[in-house]
Amino acid sequence: MKELRFNRDRMIIGPGALSAIENLEGRRFFVVSGKGSMVKNGTIGRIKEMLKKENKAYDIYLGIGGNPTVEEVEKGTARMKEFDPDVVLAVGGGSAIDAAKVMTLLCDYPTLSIDDIRTGNAPAARRKITLVAAPSTSGTASEVTGAAVVTFEEENLKVGLKSPAFFPDIAILDGELTLSMPQNVMVESGMDALTHALESYINKASNTFCKAISKSAAEGLFTWLPASFEKGDIESRQNVHEFQSLAGLSFANSGLGMDHGIAHAFGGQFGTSHGLLNAVALPYVLEYNSRDAGVKADLDALSAAIGGDVIDRVKALKKQFGVPETFKAMGISEEAFAEHYESLLDNSLKGSTARNPVPISREEMDKILKSIYDGQIRYSEAE
């Protein structure tokens, strides 16, 4: 028996969907965002005007970084508790939404700690605060998942915290918010979304519903990511925005794999873009996992649907987008790689790697990481 959860309340989609804020119930809105991009493109200003129009009290909390830390989350929680909101509106990249999820739960349960959440002792639902998520990037799908990634700096490790209480009540998918994404953010978030779709598609814990959703998400992303990169128009951006969220609906129920385990390890150590790490490692991971007969069958079916070999298409997208071939090429020095290697190896075996369709030993992970680092394949070819 398996229980599936696809979102909590509702999704509001389409260009201009942000205007739905005017009709949200609640009197006290705490707005969480990043370090300024939503101010620069006018989104925060629009939100202020909508809240003022409806005579809502509000507080704007900016400054969530690309890899939110425990310290950042706890600082934001203190501010949120002071304001005492009945609605939290997270607008911006996945990091801002992830941080808002944890902050909201900690605010709703004042005696709860982030360590309680990490050890699986979090409540299953919020009590009084409505959480609304409006992503401005198209990758994490945090607006439809029960996960939140936080960096534990003392361990140099990004940890995917999980709780049903993290599912936002409302997801707003407005492609207009993505039009101001810098090209590198579009690439990194888009490849993150594709990784979500593919890792959830081949996951052994998947099922009929999740496979159909993740396969559709992958097909849509293979179709629309190139146009989003080349043209960046509202049609391509809205489509990518919706397909990345579709991938989230799948992986929230099926899980991911070692691409994410590796990305969290390297991102925690070096502070490197999660999406970029996923993109660099993805073809290596798919190639390795295709040794499993079930994975190969799934990839063959998807290859037939998109009219070309999946792994070749991933490599072509990387080339088109200018994604480096290896971790070394993306700027991780040999000295840093060697200095931190043992912890990188240990941490790469944690988290999502436990759900990889092919079980990974420490010896095999050693071969995989070194192969991704310099591009020289050390693991055996898929049989």
Tens digit of each residue's pLDDT (9 = 90 or more) over 67-118? 899 999 999 999 999 999 999 999 999 999 999 999 999 999 999 999 999 9
Q: Looking at the predicted structure, is the pLDDT value of residue 375 above 90?
A: yes
3-state secondary structure of 11: strand
3-state secondary structure of 214: helix
Query: Does some domain include residue 301?
Result: yes
Query: Does some domain include residue 379?
Result: no
Residue 158 shares a structural domain with residue 275: no
What are the two backbone dihedrals, phi and then psi, of residue 247, each rounded to the nearest 5 degrees?
A: -60, -35
d(CA 25, CA 51): 11
pLDDT of residue 177: 97
Q: Looking at the predicted structure, is the pLDDT value of residue 383 above 60?
A: no
d(CA 120, CA 127): 18
Residue 165 shares a structural domain with residue 213: no
Joined tokens for residue 283: 């073809």
Residue with tokens 């629309």: 224
When pLDDT is cut at 50, 70 and 90, the band that residue 3 belongs to is confident
> What domain count does the chain have?
2
Joined tokens for residue 183: 């090209």
Residue with tokens 């969530």: 64
pLDDT tens track for 256-273: 999 999 999 999 999 999
pLDDT of residue 187: 98
Residue 324 shares a structural domain with residue 190: yes
Residue with tokens 């502070």: 271
What does the buried/exposed string (b/e) look like for 10-45 if buried means 16 or more CB atoms within 10 Å of the residue's CB? ebbbebebbebbeebebebbbbbbbeebbeebebbe
List the beta bridge partners of residue 88.
30, 131
Query: Does some domain include residue 2?
Result: no
Residue 117 shares a structural domain with residue 189: no
Joined tokens for residue 374: 């310099």
d(CA 269, CA 124): 31
When pLDDT is cut at 50, 70 and 90, the band that residue 8 belongs to is confident
Mean pLDDT for the chain overall: 95
When pLDDT is cut at 50, 70 and 90, the band that residue 251 belongs to is very high
Domain that holds residue 284: 183-374
pLDDT tens track for 150-174: 999 888 888 889 999 999 999 999 9
DSSP of 147-203: EEEEEEGGGTEEEEEE-GGGS-SEEEE-GGGGTT--HHHHHHHHHHHHHHHHHHHS-
How many Cα atoms are found within 13 Å in the side-chain-facing hemisphere of 242? Answer: 19
Cβ neighbours, 10 Å, residue 314: 22
Residue 170 shares a structural domain with residue 25: yes
User: Residue 307 belongs to a domain with what CATH number?
Assistant: 1.20.1090.10
Is the distance from CB of 158 to CB of 117 less than 8 angstroms? no
Q: Looking at the predicted structure, is the pLDDT value of residue 139 above 80?
A: yes
Residue 14 shares a structural domain with residue 151: yes
pLDDT tens track for 172-228: 999 999 999 999 999 999 999 999 999 999 999 999 999 999 999 999 999 999 999
When pLDDT is cut at 50, 70 and 90, the band that residue 66 belongs to is confident
